[in-house]
Structure formats: C-alpha cells, structure tokens
A = this chain, B = another copy of it.
C-alpha cells in the first residue's frame, strides 16, 4: 500500500539523487557537499545540484536553511505544508528539528495585517543546543 512517506515518483534522476542524499544524511548538507557525494553517480557541476534543489524546495520536499547556506530533506513527507516552518538547529551535533507553530504564524499574520505587509515567505531558524548535547556537556 502506498503511504505518506513514499518518495514521489515523478522526480527526475537528478532530483531523486539529490533528495536521496539529503534523506540519507544526518544533518544539513551544502550544495557542494551533495555534489561531492554524487560525483560517483555522474554529477559534475554545482548547477546540477542547485537546479534539483530548487525544484525540491519548490515542492516542499526539501528546505533551505538560510543561516547555514545548507539544505535538509523535509522531515515529514506527507506534510506538503504551506505555512510557516521553524527550524531548531543544534550547534553541537548539527541535528535539525523542524516544527510548525500556529500561534507564531497567526501572530505574524496579525503583525502583517496591521502593517499592510503581504507575507510571501518566512524563515525562522533557532540556533542553540539540543537536549542530547546539553546532557553530554554536563
């Protein structure tokens, strides 16, 4: 049975390779990291990776972390989320936690309404230490 974690079948070869690499990775990868991992599969130029990433990000299958200049696979495949997603990035282990918060989103909407600002995209990235890393440091 098909379920929500299936990888879409209409990806091109390059898109599939890039998404696969992201999915297999523990943490965020830069475009060049991805390229290096895919040399064996015939990829040679940054643009091949960037083009695939563009599409994947467009479709919500991957996210760009602006504060890292890096990318991650979307944490839950079924989401197709339209709204705001926040990322908590651990400086210790590099793990990225992805979450949505309706309260923040709605608060943002309120601010935008008051200001007459039309929101097109929001990036929210929290840097810090995850529970595991804090425990290890103790």
Contact = CB atoms under 8 A, between A and B. Distances in A.
Interface of A: 66-67, 86, 88, 90-91, 97, 99, 101, 103-104, 107-108, 111-112, 115-131, 134
Copy number in this complex? 2
10 smallest beta-carbon distances between A and B, as pairs:
A116-B131, A66-B67, A120-B128, A66-B66, A119-B128, A118-B129, A121-B127, A118-B128, A124-B124, A122-B126
B117 A97 contact: yes
Contacts of A67: 66, 123
A104 B106 CA distance: 10
Nearest to A121: B127
A127 B123 CA distance: 8
